[in-house]
Amino acid sequence: MNDTFTSNEIHGGTSTEVLKRSFLDNLSYRQAKFPAVATTYDHYMALAYTVRDRIMQHWLQSASTYYEQSVRSLCYLSAEFLLGPHLGNNLVNLGMESETRQAMLELGLDLDRLLAEEEEPGLGNGGLGRLAACYLDSLASLQIPAIGYGIRYEFGIFDQELKDGWQVERTDKWLRYGNPWEVARPEITFTVGFGGSVREQVDSAGNYQVEWVPDRHVMGMAYDTLIGGYGVPTANLLRLWQAQASESFDFQLFNVGDYQGAVLEKIASENISKVLYPNDEALQGKVLRLQQQYFFTSCALQDMIRIYLQRSSQLGNLHEKFTVQLNDTHPAIGVAELMRLLIDQHAMPWELAWEITRRTFAYTNHTLLPEALERWSVELLGRLLPRHLQIILEINRRHLEGVRKRYPGDEERASRLSLIEEQGSRAVRMAHLACVGSYSINGVAELHSRLLRDEVLRDFHDLTPEKFHNVTNGVTPRRFMLLANPRLSALITHAIGDGWIRDLDQLHRLEPLADDAAFRAEWRVVKRAVKEDLAEKVQQRTGISVDPESLFDVQVKRFHEYKRQHLNLLHILSLYFQIKDNPAADVTPRTFLFAGKAAPGYQMAKLIIKLINSVGEVVNGDSDVNGRLRVAFFPDFNVKNGQWIYPAADLSEQISTAGKEASGTGNMKLSMNGALTIGTLDGANIEIRDHVGPENFFCFGMTVEEVASLQAAGYDPGSLVRDNADLSRIMHRLSDGTFSRGDTELFRPLVENLQYHDPFFVLADFSSYVERQREVSAAFQDREVWTQKSILNVARMGHFSSDRSIRDYCREIWQIDAIQPNGFNSKFKP
Residue ranges binding ligand GLG (CB under 6 A)? 126-128, 131, 280-281, 366-367, 444, 473, 661-665, 683
Distance CA 720, CA 767 (A): 10
Distance CA 217, CA 830 (A): 29
In the complex with ligand GLG, which residue's Cβ is closer, 304 or 447? 447
CB 472 to ligand GLG: min, Å: 10
How many other CB atoms are found less than 10 A from the CB of residue 386?
18
Q: Which of 594, 626, 596, 624 is nearest to 612 (CA)?
A: 594
Decide if 563 is catalytic.
yes
CB 562 to ligand GLG: min, Å: 9
How far is the CA of 344 from the CAs of 204, 210, 339, 356, 517, in angstroms? 17, 7, 8, 15, 70
In the complex with ligand GLG, which residue's Cβ is closer, 125 or 755? 125
Distance CA 312, CA 318 (A): 9
CB 659 to ligand GLG: min, Å: 11
Burial code of 477-486, b = ≥16 C-beta within 10 A, e = fewer?
bbbbbbbbbb
**Helix 565-581 / helix 762-781 crossing angle, nearest 10 deg:** 60
Residue 380 in 3-state DSSP? helix
CB 127 to ligand GLG: min, Å: 3
In the 8-state DSSP scheme, what is residue 212? E
In the complex with ligand GLG, which residue's Cβ is closer, 162 or 282? 282
CB 443 to ligand GLG: min, Å: 9
- First-to-last CA distance in the chain? 33
State the residue number with the nearest CB to ligand GLG: 127
Q: Are 329 and 369 in contact (CB under 8 A)?
A: no
In the complex with ligand GLG, which residue's Cβ is closer, 327 or 542? 327
Give the active site residue among 563, 571, 628, 733: 563
In the complex with ligand GLG, which residue's Cβ is closer, 128 or 232? 128
In the 8-state DSSP scheme, what is residue 475? B
CB 540 to ligand GLG: min, Å: 29
E-strand ranges in 165-207 read: 166-170, 182-194, 197-202
Q: Which residues pair with 471 in a beta bridge?
A: none
E-strand ranges in 545-686 read: 551-556, 590-595, 629-633, 651-654, 676-679
The full length of the chain comes to 830
**Cα-Cα-Cα-Cα dihedral of 387, 393, 395, 397, to 10°?**
-150
CB 78 to ligand GLG: min, Å: 11
Give the active site residue among 571, 669, 733, 799: 669
In the complex with ligand GLG, which residue's Cβ is closer, 563 or 789? 563
Q: Which of 418, 422, 425, 428 is nearest to 389 (CA)?
A: 428
In the complex with ligand GLG, which residue's Cβ is closer, 283 or 417? 283
In the complex with ligand GLG, which residue's Cβ is closer, 449 or 790? 449
The edge-to-edge listing of strands for the beta sheet with 427-429 is 375-377, 427-429, 420-421
Decide if 558 is catalytic.
yes
DSSP code per residue over 232-277: SS-EEEEEEEEEEESSSS-HHHHHTT-HHHHHHHHHHHHGGGTB--
Task: Report which secondary-structure segment, H or E, holds 415.
Answer: helix 411-417
In the complex with ligand GLG, which residue's Cβ is closer, 85 or 664? 664
The dihedral through the CA atoms of 449, 453, 455, 457 has a sign that is positive
DSSP code per residue over 664-729: -SHHHHHHHTTPEEEE-S-TTHHHHHHHH-GGGSEE-S--HHHHHHHHHH---HHHHHHH-HHHHH
Q: Are 350 and 390 in contact (CB under 8 A)?
A: no
Amino acid at 382: G
In the complex with ligand GLG, which residue's Cβ is closer, 78 or 302? 78
In the 8-state DSSP scheme, what is residue 36? G
Give the active site residue among 52, 366, 467, 571: 366
CB 798 to ligand GLG: min, Å: 19
Distance CA 58, CA 35 (A): 30
Q: Are strands 73-77 and 322-327 parallel, antiparallel or unpaired?
A: parallel
Decide if 33 is catalytic.
no
Give the active site residue among 14, 665, 680, 787: 665
Distance CA 759, CA 42 (A): 51
Distance CA 121, CA 341 (A): 32
In the complex with ligand GLG, which residue's Cβ is closer, 129 or 647? 129
Helices (H), 258-410: 259-270, 287-311, 318-321, 334-340, 350-360, 378-384, 386-406
Decide if 557 is catalytic.
yes
Q: Are 101 and 28 in contact (CB under 8 A)?
A: no
Q: Which of 159, 150, 72 is nearest to 120 (CA)?
A: 159
In the complex with ligand GLG, which residue's Cβ is closer, 126 or 798? 126
Decide if 20 is catalytic.
no
CB 707 to ligand GLG: min, Å: 17
Q: Which of 789, 782, 770, 769 is nearest to 694 (CA)?
A: 789
CB 558 to ligand GLG: min, Å: 7
CB 328 to ligand GLG: min, Å: 7
How many other CB atoms are found less than 10 A from the CB of residue 410?
13
Decide if 163 is catalytic.
no
Give the active site residue among 58, 557, 691, 772: 557
CB 429 to ligand GLG: min, Å: 18
Q: Which of 127, 96, 130 is nearest to 20 (CA)?
A: 96
CB 802 to ligand GLG: min, Å: 11
In the complex with ligand GLG, which residue's Cβ is closer, 325 or 663? 663
Q: Are 777 and 588 in contact (CB under 8 A)?
A: yes
Catalytic residues: 366, 557-558, 563, 665, 669
